[in-house]
Amino acid sequence: MQSRVSSFEETKDLATKAQSRVFQLNLLKILILFLVLGLGFSVLSMYMMRFSGVQNVVSTTRSSFQPCFEEPTGLDHWIMPPRNLMHTMTDKELFWRATLVPRMRKYPFKRVPKIAFMFLTKGPLPLSPLWERFLKGHEGLFSIYIHSLPSYRANFTSTSVFYQRQIPSEVSEWGQMSMCDAERRLLANALLDISNEWFVLLSETCIPLFNFSIIYKYLTRSRHSFMGAFDDPGQYGRGRYNESMAPEVNISQWRKGSQWFAISRWPAVYIVEDTKFYPKFKEFCKPHCYVDEHYFPTMLTSVAPRLLANRTLTWVDWSRGGAHPATFGRADITEEFLNRIIEGRTCLYNNRSSSVCYLFARKFAPSTLEPLLQYAQQVLGYG
């Protein structure tokens, strides 16, 4: 009996062990299956990620590819004026850049000629409200440039035509070459805008004598630039000539004229690119020579005499005597006074007689602003 029980227990143990082995084998198979599936998914995922990355790179490369011979910004890059006038170029760099001008007279785009009004001043522009009224409604036909003392910061509002129109400036002194440097600097900055066709030099005391439309047509239809240039045999003309300036500048070339000019694009380029006459004037036309009265008239008469009308468009009154023209105050501004400036003269315009001889006038003190605004519409034609 005991033998049977013992045999039964042994049989039971064997069965239990056999079931345990089967369970272990099944568990091992399941683990191996999961391991194989895990490796398979890993390999598949790596392949998909790699393929997707290559596709993205190819797609990105294709979308950003630019042919090496194409200019990304096109023609606009060359014809758009600078957005910010306060650049970091030196004068030498600026003058070089400004003389990179197209030689072809025909433009491959619609070009609307503009007038560059260039203000040479120490600081504020007290007559700016008058100029604002004069320019109102003519946006796109003019540009503004201001050369002031480097320390001066204008406070024009963002709606003003004078807002952020100051250029990088240096100190300029009356009768010194630094005055001509300032004028060349104004011209060079204005030449960076390819639409500027006429360049008018003004001071803070200047006013326009006609409305914008008349002045715009007068300038853009003129065949000549307006730079005073005459041969004065007296002590204030040839008497200021220095023989050391020869042979670049001979006494026969020596000219005198008003500082305030209105010139077209090519004379402006000639002034900025000049390296022949400039050194002689800088070295030998010292105080009591008054270089700003002689340098540009002499230089342009020598290189482009046929382009000049040999007269200025800016009226001044020398009748009161002295080294400077008369300055007018509030009491001077009457309808009769303004009409006297505008009327009663004849001059040549495009080789024909004209009664319009001056477009601008100076010198007007800040106190004249209010009466000038009163007469602007009635006498001057803008308001």
Mean pLDDT of 219-224: 98
**pLDDT band at 61, cuts 50/70/90?**
very low
* Mean pLDDT (the chain, rounded): 87
Question: Domain ranges in the chain?
Answer: 86-312
Q: What is the mean pLDDT of residues 120-145?
A: 97
Rounded mean pLDDT, 305-316: 97
Residue predicted with more confidence, 257 or 42: 257
Predicted local confidence at residue 29, as pLDDT: 64
Read off the tokens for 245.
Answer: 């300036």
User: What is the average per-residue pLDDT within 82-110?
Assistant: 91
Examine the pLDDT at 55 and tell me if it is beyond 50: no
Tell me: the pLDDT tens digits for 262-290? Answer: 999 999 999 999 999 999 999 999 888 99
Which segment of 32-36, 52-56, 229-233, 329-333 scores lowest on mean pLDDT? 52-56
pTM above 0.85, yes or no: no
Predicted local distance difference test score (pLDDT) of residue 209: 98
Q: pLDDT band for 383, please (50, 70, 90 cuts).
A: confident
Contact predicate 288/216, CB 8 Å: no
Q: What is the mean pLDDT of residues 111-136?
A: 97
For residue 69, pLDDT beyond 50: no
Cα–Cα distances (Å) from 325 to 31, 125, 174, 292, 314, in that order, read 107, 19, 14, 15, 12
CA distance 340 to 335: 9
User: pLDDT at residue 57 above 80?
Assistant: no
Q: Any idea what the Cα angle at residue 373 is, between residues 151 and 376, rounded to 5°?
A: 120
Q: Which two tokens stand for residue 122?
A: 């120490």
